[in-house]
Structure 1
Amino acid sequence: MRWSPLARKECRAVATSKGVWLLAALLVLWGYRPSYVGWDALGANITVGYVQVAGTALLPLGVLLLSYQSVVGERTSGSLKFVLGLPLTRTDVLMGKVAGRTLGISGPLCAAFLVLGIIGLVDHGVFNPVLFLGVVLVTLGYVGAMVSIAVSVSALASRTVTAAGAIFGGVFLPFVLFWTPLVTSVFTRVTGLPVDAFNPPASGPLFLLLRLSPSGAYHVGTNWLLGVGNSADMYSQVLTQLQPNVTTNAYVVEAAFPPGSVPLYLHESLSFVVLFVWFVVPLGIARYRFIRGDAV
């Protein structure tokens, strides 16, 4: 792999930065959220749920901010000319950036997850280590997808401020923070079927759209591993929605669809395919433009 030296350079640069370690410290504080509903359903495995909570909102924002300058920053400073002068293709440059940034961010994040595991072990007792590892691996896959998106935007942008605006206004806000209201609003306009968040219709297309964002796919996959329900919402919201005589604004398949009527395309395993698509497609678009345009 010709891009491995560049990947190592990117990995060292990110792993030794203050930003990624600040993110790791904040994730410990963000992720540790004990709850009665989580303890009642998961017992000691509520510790595994802390990893999912850590991967909600703050983690994707931090990963995007740590990666959006990867190419455009070097283009602005002029150092990209030196990188392109190496015996590397432009595809190698993109691959090295994505792989290096993903590994550089993953190390400190694993340290944060380890701290969460230790806290959970002390507070709640022994949890399932295989389940914990599984959720951590899915979370790192989510990190890889967000890095791929950020590097792709960085390769397409001509200025740092443009990349920053695209990352925040074009990726984080619509695909992470406000995906559910956007989907329900568009769904209502297109179909004419109003969507009540507290009593959503048993519509396969609606529930499919809700899990097509990176964050939605991440929650569906980790909820599947946790065994709490089929939903793109956080595990504690899913558990609350499934309690008797309780109604929340969480979109949970088991609460909306009668038994035996759930479409096959809503199976939780397909969430991993969605995450893979989010990793591959932005990178493919960026590669197409990067190798044909003026990179510097």
Structure 2
Amino acid sequence: MTPDTGTRIPTITREDLRQARRSRLLWGALVLVALLVLPAFWSRTSNLRAIEGQPPPAVEGVLLVPGYLSTYLFLVVAALAYGAVAAERESGSVRLLLGLAGTRRDVLVGKLLARVAMLVGVLAALLAAMAGMLALNERVAVVPFLLVGGWVLVYGAAWTAFAVGVSAAFASQYRALVAIAGTYVVLAWNAPVWKAVLEPGLRALLPPGLSPYVSALNPTLSLAVVSRWLVAASTSAPDEVGAGPAAVSGLVLLGIAAVGLLVGARRFGTVDVG
């Protein structure tokens, strides 16, 4: 009797989790990010002081979380996801997965679930360490931190989904990595392409009243944009973002994740894997 192909997704997910946990590149990226983020975060939050007209130190501490994670988080995403499917195609082992009653959809979904689970675990550990630092400094606002922490996990999962999709679109790990990194470099808020071309172009196209939406249209800024709105919605901090730009920012991020997955699924679904 032929096994149900749907049952292959949990098997592929478990096996991929087992293999991903052995990745030296992943753990190296995690250690590097921890060394870059945690000491600087501790130093900054331990020096927070109450300033008239500014949010309380506990709220300021939460607002610092996205800024310290945004740049380095993508290193973990890239290390974790660029070879998710491309490595299997490059080595030819994808034929074994497909030969064991698995479909291409099973492979893609199983890889996606495994890599998102790993990313969530890594980010949860970093967030727990940051929360502990805030607590030691007696500067932790629980509800805002939980909201921002939840959004950090969604943000990381969305970029991981995009990266897994890109990985599925290429038969070479190197090409997948270049495509993922290239996308981020083009869209990165502090890179020349965004600052010199995309941002001025959007400001010229949009009416002046929609200028707050310019930042919302950049998915690499989504972490900060939505986090600031969540903090303002859960505290007395001023709302400098607005619900509209925050919603657009979240949708843009989810959109790029969906595009990456759809393109990857389409190319992986039609390519000859031998």
TM-score normalised according to structure 2 size: 0.80
Shift of 1:47: 3.1
Q: Gaps spanning 5+ residues in structure 1: where?
A: 194-200, 229-237, 243-251, 255-263
Answer yes or no: is 1:213 the counterpart of 2:218. yes
May I ask how many residue pairs the two structures share in their alignment?
A: 254
Structure 1 segment 1-296 matched on structure 2, within 5 A:
2=7, 3-17=9-23, 18-19=27-28, 21-23=30-32, 25-26=34-35, 27-29=37-39, 31-32=41-42, 33-34=44-45, 40-123=54-137, 125=138, 127-169=140-182, 171-176=183-188, 177-178=190-191, 179-187=194-202, 191=205, 202-204=208-210, 206-227=211-232, 266-295=244-273
Q: Which amino acid in the other structure matches residue 219 of structure 2?
A: P
**Native 8 Å contact 2:151 2:227 kept in 1:** yes
Q: CA deviation at 1:167?
A: 1.7
Cα distance change, pair 111–211 in 1 and its aligned pair in 2 (3 A): same
Query: Alpha-carbon deviation of 1:219?
Result: 1.6
Look up the match of 1:246.
Answer: none
Distance 1:135 1:12, change over 3 A: farther
Answer whether contact 2:148 2:227 (CA < 8 A) is retained: yes
CA-to-aligned-CA distance 1:208-249 (integer Å, 9 cap, x gap) = 343223222222111111219xxxxxxxxx99xx9xxxxxxx
Secondary structure at 1:158 match in 2: coil
More helix by share: 2
- The more displaced of 18-27 and 153-162 is 18-27
Query: Aligned equivalents of 1:279 and 1:161: distance in 2?
Result: 20
Q: Report the CA distance between 1:138 and its aligned residue.
A: 0.7
* Secondary structure at 1:277 match in 2: helix
Structure 1 segments of 4+ aligned residues over 6 angstroms from their partners: none
Give the CA RMSD over aligned residues: 3.0
Aligned-partner residue type, residue 119 of structure 1? M
- 8 A contact 2:119–2:157 mirrored in 1: no
- Residue 41 of structure 1 aligns to a residue whose secondary structure is coil
Q: Verify the 8 A CA contact 2:169 2:268 in the aligned structure 1.
A: yes
**Separation in structure 1 between the aligned mates of residue 198 and residue 49 of structure 2, nearest angstrom:** 28
CA deviation map 1:267-295 (0-9, x unaligned): 42333322222222211121122112224
1:176-223: CA deviation from partner (whole Å, max 9, x where unpaired):
2423443224336x65x9xxxxxxx8341x543432232222221111
Over the matched positions of the two proteins, sequence identity in percent amounts to: 27
